[in-house]
Amino acid sequence: MLQILLKHDVKALQAFVAIVECRGISAAQARLNMSQSAISTHLAHLETSLGMSLCQRGRGGFELTRAGEQLYHACLRLLQATQEFHHDMQGIKQQCKRLSGVLRLCMVDHMPDRFTTVLAELIRQTYRHHPDLQLVADIRSPQEIETAIATREMDLGIGYFAQPLKNLRYHPVLQETQCIYCHRDHPAARDPDLNVAKLEQDYAWVRRGYLLSPSLSQLNPQQLTATAYHMEVTLLFILAGSHIGFLPRDYAAPLVDEGTLTALLPDETAYQVEHMAVFRPENDARIEWVLSQLQSLLAA
């Protein structure tokens, strides 16, 4: 049966569906924009090929046979699958179009290790599948990234953005956990009675040089005596033993494992950061492809 049906083109099956839904050949003419004889030919061809009567036509009106009713429902499923196939093929064709030009990327100075691994794979796939596409990459603060995207200096940015701009689009990429750390010789590391109040009031902090949303952490440090615009500089102040501050958990993990850094009250003070991709609200096949690949790789 399947081999027989595959010999018929989609138009014949569409004609049969129209006949059924319009309750007759004459009524189906307007919908199909076909002559009555052409529609009748399609129907007769189907009945002959399948060796069965699909409908009864006459003075009593139009009625489907049992076989016709079964074929009608099968046609609906087939036509739906055909539409989905066509949609998928259009997407494949779009993705297979060779991308070209220069795509300018910028991101914050430290991203989770998993993202770095994924980004390396993304770069490999980009040059493998789209050799005419060149990538330019830079490291900037979140505010600098947004400005560069808005002014068309850069095309795609990735990082944490506290107050999204209305003229840009943002797409979630991944989450990262931030914890408070100090050097192993810092007084907080040896305080058996350490609590949140002490962290806020008794110790000097190194703060981020860019804007953070107040909703991320409820802490209110009283001694903000150092400012760092890059993660490496934040770590430098913490390693000096003079300050405590937030670092990404995976970034600090090797130093914690070797005993150089100590996490302070992580169960009470850690928070999640949502890293986002930012780009201009205009169609760009290169950005769409990069985001699609990035999402697939991160989900793997």
Report how far residue 133's alpha carbon sits from residue 85's, in angstroms, rounded to the nearest whole number: 29
Q: Are 227 and 206 in contact (CB under 8 A)?
A: yes
SS3 264: coil
The CATH code of domain 175-274 reads 3.40.190.290
Condensed to tens digits (0 to 9), the pLDDT of residues 239-268 reads 999 999 999 999 999 999 999 999 999 999
**Domain regions of the chain by residue span:** 2-96, 101-168+281-299, 175-274
pLDDT band with cut points at 50, 70 and 90 for residue 10: confident
Q: Are 188 and 182 in contact (CB under 8 A)?
A: yes
Q: Containing H/E element for 102?
A: strand 101-107
The answer, as to whether pTM is greater than 0.85, is no
* Closest by Cα among 229, 214, 248 to 144: 229
Q: Are 251 and 109 in contact (CB under 8 A)?
A: no
Residue 96 scores a pLDDT above 80: no
Structure tokens at 203: 């110790």
Torsions phi, psi of 186, nearest 5? -70, 145
Structure tokens at 73: 């429902």
Q: Is the alpha carbon torsion for 232, 223, 269, 215 positive or negative?
A: negative
In this prediction, residue 211 carries a pLDDT of 60
Residue 127 scores a pLDDT above 80: yes
pLDDT band with cut points at 50, 70 and 90 for residue 94: low
The more confidently predicted of residues 67 and 62 is 67
The CATH code of domain 101-168+281-299 reads 3.40.190.10
SS3 112: coil
175-274 shares the fold of 101-168+281-299: yes
The more confidently predicted of residues 209 and 268 is 268
**What Å distances lie between residue 110 and 213, 234, 275, CA to CA?**
18, 11, 11
Q: What CATH number matches the domain at 2-96, 1.10.10.10, 3.40.50.720, 1.20.1280.290, 1.10.357.10?
A: 1.10.10.10
